[in-house]
Amino acid sequence: MLKEISRYANYGGVANRRAFTDTDMDLYIWFKGGEPERFHLSYNKQSCTQSVSWNNESGFELNQPDLGEAIAILFGLLDSYAISSTSPMQLALQFLHASDPIEPWLADFIYARLLEHPGHNAAHVNQDRVLRSF
């Protein structure tokens, strides 16, 4: 179950960010005028962490490898840059199962956005090689 980490008070004491976590997911939500403006959800933390980001203006940010990631792939720091094995429906259901502590209107909003997700690429980090590279 997702548990709220804290509410970040900014802009005259009005909470504009919230963060939730559990053993498999991290959720960060930004608000504008009391409405969700964007969110970032990391999932599969127990095995191969992946993430999805959404914002009100452009929708989902589909992860594309940048120059740094391309170099990391060449040096073996990233195992691959592959299509996520978690379907949008599976992710939405995983989120819904973990979202009990979140207000229903907010959980429903994020659940609905996750159902709209077209699928995405995700970088799979080779932790051993990353640690050896420092």
Provide the pLDDT for residue 92. Answer: 92
State how many domains the chain has: 1
pLDDT per residue as tens digits for the range 65-89? 445 555 555 555 555 444 456 788 8
pLDDT per residue as tens digits for the range 88-133? 888 999 999 999 989 999 999 999 999 988 764 444 444 454 444 3
Tell me the residue range of the domain where 95 lies. 3-132
Provide the pLDDT for residue 96. Answer: 94
Alpha carbon distance 27, 7 (integer Å): 12
The amino acid occupying position 89 is: M
> What are the phi and psi torsion angles at 74 (to 5°)?
-60, -35
> What are the phi and psi torsion angles at 72 (to 5°)?
-60, -40
Nearest to 121 by CA among 56, 57, 73: 73
Q: Are 99 and 53 in contact (CB under 8 A)?
A: no
